Structure formats: structure tokens, C-alpha cells
Amino acid sequence: MPLDIVVGTQWGDEGKGRFVDLLAAQVDYVARFNGGDNAGHTVSVGQQTFKLHLVPSGVIQPHTIGVIGNGVVVNPAVLLNEIEILADAGIHISPKRLRLSHAAHIISPAHLALDQAQETARGKTKIGTTLRGIGPAYTSKVSRQGLRLVDMLDLDKFKHAVQVHVKEINQQLTNLYQVEPLNPQIVSEELCHHASQISPYIADISALLSGALLSGRRVLAEGAQGTLLDLDHGTYPFVTSSNPTAGGALTGLGLGVGFTERVIGVTKSFQTRVGSGPFPTELEGNLAQRLRGTGENPWDEFGTTTGRPRRVGWLDLVLLRYAIRVNGLTELALTKLDILTGFDQIYICTGYRIGEQLINELPYGPSDLSGFEPIYEELSGWQEDVRSVRRWEDLPLSARAYILRIEELSSVPVRLISVGPEREQVVEIT
Ligand code: IMP
């Protein structure tokens, strides 16, 4: 069955966008299934670099149809702005090229205000959210008070529903957080204005994609964020509010399990994280600086959405094995191998030590990693520039040894390796 799912195995920012862009060359539909504009996908094609947040990164391939599933939360203003930015870059998104699930929930300005108020109130224990209203929008969904895209099709009812929604969130803003309420009239006018532009894009995505798959079309499900940010399986409570794992692809698009063929786990060759929360292999100082870059290049380790410097560290195989399990990964796609060039030694975390105890598998998932000391395996680094390498056999011996060791420790094959930010800077292992 021709559904392939791409997920991140770490804390997001693995570089999924670049592989989605590559794999999209062979598919008909590219579908986002979770999250919202908290995601940031950077794709470089020739001289152009695209930073997308909501529109699936696969739409840069001109033959694909982009899809936003019911599992996504949509900020209409952000979506319309992104469509405009793409148009300026020569990529014209019309309802023929982008379909939005009727059941996707809306992020409103009230959700943004609440995200900000909640983070401020958390103080030192803040999650470090992207402040895009993600948590509050999913909270509205789960508490069955959310606004859905389908509601935009009846403007009179929608206008009223938005006003009720804003008044309800205003209660929280003023009573719980002592911040200024929003004007329900203004918010509803703004959202109704967007509704007229969004309405032509709305469709039944489950029916559309199931029909396409049954008639032999290929669909690529594009995950945002990563396994360790999964609401159920991540480093709770320092997680996002959706399910970026493979199961989330099926729920978030309304597809049956039987369609799935490949489940591709995108893994950065080292580990990064933005926001708060545990990170056992985190590095500081010079080593961290080298992995992070200076921020001059779009691919340096600074958040695409927030610009925050990312925390960086060595690859953690305990967490990778965990991601393989919860996603049922069939293969790995490794990014940024080129960044490891020039290190004399490279380290892989193979287990943890807590007191006298050695741990290879997390007892209760990755939520509480405090006190876990990484056990490292040391491997030789390489000095050769790998950016122009396109074949496995042309990679330096030590680079191959690093990848083979990852395969050995994870029991999953590495099928794709990126050696630079450009579309063609990939080594494919067949
Ligand atoms: P939220 O999704 O904005 O609520 O943020 C919750 C946590 O997920 C924070 O630690 C964010 O930094 C992190 N996060 C959300 N989206 C992304 C992403 O696309 N890449 C990396 N981290 C993310």
C-alpha cells in the first residue's frame, strides 16, 4: 500500500523538510498530519531557501498536491500569509494545489494570547513554547469547544461561534492571568474575512486521500516536530500538544492502518532541542558552538520559527531506539552528516548510568531523565569534506563506520544520508 510516513525521531528540527522535498518527487500528495505553524521546515532549492511553517514542504515539487489533515491546527492568517510568500517566490498555491481538512481546528488570536499568558505565568517552569497558540488550540479541541475549518462555510454561525469562543477565553485571560481581554467583535471580523479566502480550500481529506490511495496514487505523510515532543510519548510535560509519531499520521489524516508502506525516521547525526526539558547528551562550550554554527547560515542550529539558538549534543541511541519502537520505523534517514566533519572523535550515547545501575531502555519513557548520565562510545572522526559525496563507497571510512554503528545499535537500516543543505546533497543507499 502506497502511504509513506516521515517522522522526526528526536525533538523536531531533524531536517524532515529536505527529505520530504526529495521523496515528494515520487508522490502525488504530501500531507501534514499534526501540529501547526510551530513547525519550521527549511528547504533549499538552487538559490532559493524556503522557510515553511504550515504549508506542507512537499508542495515545492510542482506536480504534488499539498494536504493539511484534521490533526493539524490552522492559524488562517499565517496560512494566507505563507501562500502569499510562496506566490512571490513563483510557487502559486490555489485550491487545486492545496486541500485543507474540514475537521482541522482553527488557532484564533485568543489562543495566541492565552499561550503567551500561560507561558508568562509558568515563569521559571515555562515549557518554552513557540507562542503560536498550539496548546490552547488543542485544548479547545479536546474540550470540545474548538472552532473547525468547516465552521467557516456558514459565515453567520461562524461569526457567532467566534464571539462565544473569544468571550470564553477572555474569562481565562482576565480572571486567571490578569491580562487584557480581546475584542470579540474585532476577532470575529478578522476571522470571517479570512474565512472567505480559506473556504475554497476546504475538503474531506480522509475521503480524498483514501480514494487516491485505492486508485494507486502515492501519499507522503509529513510529520512536524518529533517523537520526543509527542504529547503521549515524548518528554512530558516538555512536549507539544499533538502526536508527531506515526500513529498520529493515520488519525491526523483519517486513514486506515493497512495503507502504510514505509515509515521513515529522520534523525539528525547529532541531537538538538529548542525549549526546556531534559537532554542527557547536551554539550556546552566549544563543542556545542561547533555543532550549532554561528547563525549566519539558514541551516545553522537556530529555530526556524523562533530564531532561538538550539541546544545541541551527541546522538543518543537510547532515545533513537525508543523512537524506532513507538513509530515502528522501517528505515532511518540521517541528516547533517557534513556537520560532524573535522571532529577528531565522535561520541554515541549507547546507554545511561544512574548510580550503580546501567540502563539501555527507559523504564517509563523519556519523561524523567534527570540523574541519567550518558554512557558514550567513542568513534574516530573524519577530516575529509563530505559535501560533494553522492555514493556510499565515497564516504570516508570513519563516516561509514559511524553510520554502520548506528544501524547496528538500532537494528534499522539507514537508507538516506544528507551531506549538505542542497536538494542533491544526498547519499542514497539502495
Ligand atoms: P508548542 O508546540 O509551541 O506548544 O511548544 C512546545 C514545545 O515544543 C517547545 O519546547 C517548543 O520549542 C517545541 N517545538 C514545537 N514545535 C517545534 C518544532 O517544529 N521544532 C522543534 N521544537 C518544536
Can you read off the three cell numbers belonging to residue 159? 461569526
Closest residue by Cα to atom 1, ligand 1, is 129
Ligand 1 proximity of 10 Cβ (cutoff 6 Å): no
User: Quick one: DSSP state of residue 208?
Assistant: H
**Does residue 37 have an active-site annotation?**
no
**Does residue 193 have an active-site annotation?**
no
Ligand 1 proximity of 278 Cβ (cutoff 6 Å): no
Rounded-to-integer distance, Cα 323 and Cα 318, Å: 9
Q: Which residue has the cell 477572555?
A: 170
- Nearest one of 1, 53, 3, 50 to 28, comparing CA atoms: 3
Q: Which residue has the cell 559511524?
A: 402
Closest residue by Cα to atom 10, ligand 1, is 275
Q: Which residue has the cell 563543542?
A: 287
Q: Which of 13, 21, 37, 230 is catalytic?
A: 13
Measured in Å, residue 76 CA sits from the centre of ligand 1 at 19
User: Are 252 and 37 within 8 A, CB to CB?
Assistant: no
**H helices within 143-254, ranges in order?**
155-171, 184-198, 205-214, 246-253
The pTM of the full predicted model, rounded to 2 decimals, is 0.95
The single-letter code of the amino acid at 386 is: V
User: Quick one: DSSP state of residue 222?
Assistant: E
Ligand 1 proximity of 13 Cβ (cutoff 6 Å): yes
Query: Rounded to 5 degrees, what are φ and ψ at 159?
Result: -60, -45
Q: Which of 4, 21, 41, 105 is catalytic?
A: 41
Residue 77, H or E segment: helix 76-88
Measured in Å, residue 258 CA sits from the centre of ligand 1 at 30
Rounded-to-integer distance, Cα 426 and Cα 334, Å: 10
Can you read off the three cell numbers belonging to residue 153? 462555510
Query: Rounded to 5 degrees, what are φ and ψ at 349?
Result: -85, 120
Can you read off the three cell numbers belonging to residue 327? 513509530
Ligand 1 proximity of 225 Cβ (cutoff 6 Å): yes
User: Quick one: DSSP state of residue 31?
Assistant: E
Task: Give the tens place of pLDDT for each residue, 182-191.
Answer: 999 999 999 9
Ligand 1 proximity of 224 Cβ (cutoff 6 Å): yes
Rounded-to-integer distance, Cα 169 and Cα 148, Å: 16
User: Quick one: DSSP state of residue 167?
Assistant: H
Ligand 1 proximity of 324 Cβ (cutoff 6 Å): no
Number of residues that make up the chain = 430
Closest residue by Cα to atom 11, ligand 1, is 129
DSSP string, 30-90: EEE-SB-TT--EEEEETTEEEEESSS-GGGGSTT-EEEE-TTBEE-HHHHHHHHHHHHHTT
Closest residue by Cα to atom 5, ligand 1, is 129
Measured in Å, residue 246 CA sits from the centre of ligand 1 at 18
**For each of the chain's 430 residues, which pLDDT tens digit applies?**
699 999 999 999 999 988 998 999 999 999 999 999 999 887 777 788 878 899 998 888 889 999 999 999 999 999 999 999 899 888 899 999 999 999 999 999 999 999 999 999 999 999 999 999 999 999 999 999 999 999 999 999 999 999 999 999 999 999 999 999 999 999 999 999 999 999 999 999 999 999 999 999 999 999 999 999 999 999 999 999 999 999 999 999 999 999 999 999 999 999 999 988 899 999 999 999 999 998 888 789 998 777 889 999 999 999 999 999 999 999 999 999 999 999 999 999 999 999 899 999 888 888 888 889 999 999 999 999 999 999 999 999 999 999 999 999 999 999 999 999 888 999 999 8
Strand 65-68 and strand 98-101: pairing? parallel
User: Quick one: DSSP state of residue 377?
Assistant: E
Mutation choice for ligand 1 from 33, 130, 231, CB with most ligand atoms inside 8 A? 130
Ligand 1 proximity of 128 Cβ (cutoff 6 Å): yes
Measured in Å, residue 267 CA sits from the centre of ligand 1 at 17
